[in-house]
Chain A
Amino acid sequence: MSGGEAVLFWVLAPVMVLAALGLVFAKKAVHAALCMAVVMVSLGAVYFAEQAPFLGGVQVFVYTGAVMMLFVFVLMLVGVDSSDSLIETIKGQRLAATLFGLGTVALLLSVLSHVTYGEPKGLTEVNDAPDSGNLGALAVRIFGGYVWAFEVTGALLITAALGAMVLAHRERLVPRPGQRELSVRRIRDGAIKAPLPAPGVFARHNAVDTPALLPDGTPSELSVSRVLVARGQSLSATDRAGEIRTIDAELRSPLGDTVPGLNGAAVGDGAPAEAEDEHA
Chain B
Amino acid sequence: MNLAWWLYLSALLFAIGATTVLVRRNAIIVFMGVELMLNATNLAFVTFSRMQGTIDGQVIALFVMLVAAAEVVVGLAIIMTIFRTRRSASVDDVNLLKY
On whether the two chains bind one another, the answer is yes
Q: Does A202 contact B (CB under 8 A)?
A: no
Given that A70-B73, A84-B24, A160-B73 are known contacts, is A58 also in contact with B6, CB under 8 Å in the complex? Answer: no
Nearest CB of chain A from residue B93's CB, rounded to whole Å: 9
With a cutoff of 8 Å between Cβ atoms, the chain B residues found around residue A233 in the complex are: none
A-B contact pairs, 15 of them (CB 8 A): A1-B3, A9-B5, A20-B17, A43-B39, A43-B42, A50-B6, A52-B50, A74-B80, A100-B18, A104-B14, A122-B50, A141-B56, A153-B66, A164-B77, A170-B84
| Residue in B closest to A160 when the chains form the complex, CB atoms | B70
Q: Cα distance A177–B90 when bound, in Å?
A: 32
> Given A29-B26, A164-B74, A167-B78, do A17 and B6 touch, yes or no (CB 8 Å)?
no
* Residues 80-131 of A at the B interface (beta carbon under 8 Å): 82-85, 89, 93-94, 96-98, 100-102, 104-105, 108-109, 112-113, 115, 117-118, 120-123, 125-126
A33-41, A205-213, A221-229 - interface stretch: A33-41
Beta-carbon contact of A74 and B20 below 8 Å: no
- Collect the chain B residues with CB atoms within 8 Å of residue A32's CB: 29, 32
| Contacting pair A51 B50 (CB below 8 A) | yes
A105–B12 alpha-carbon span in the complex (Å)? 6
Q: How many residues of A contact B (CB 8 A)?
A: 85
Q: Is the CB of A20 within 8 A of B73?
A: no
For A74, give the chain B residue with the smallest CB separation: B76
Q: Which A148-170 residues have a C-beta within 8 angstroms of B?
A: 149-150, 153, 156-157, 159-161, 163-164, 167-168, 170
Q: Say how far A124's CB is from chain B's closest CB, in angstroms.
A: 9
A247 within 8 A of B: no
A24 contacts B23, C-beta separation under 8 Å: yes
Q: How far is the CA of A9 from the CA of B3 in the complex (A)?
A: 10
Question: Considering the complex, which residues of chain A in the window 1-26 have a beta carbon less than 8 Å from any beta carbon of chain B?
Answer: 1, 6, 9, 13, 16-17, 20-21, 23-24, 26
Q: Do A105 and B26 have beta carbons less than 8 Å apart?
A: no
Question: How far, in angstroms, from A63 to B39 measured CA to CA in the complex?
Answer: 9
B27: nearest residue on chain A (CB-CB)? A78
Which one of A52, A85, A109, A153 contacts B46 once the chains associate, using CB atoms below 8 Å?
A: A52
> Is A137 an interface residue when CB atoms closer than 8 A count as contact?
yes
A94–B2 touching, CB < 8 Å: no
Residue contact A78 to B83, C-beta cutoff 8 Å: yes
Least CB distance, B43 to chain A, in whole angstroms = 6
Does B77 lie within 8 Å of A168, measured CB to CB?
yes
Pick from B23, B47, B69, B81: contact of A97, CB under 8 Å? B23
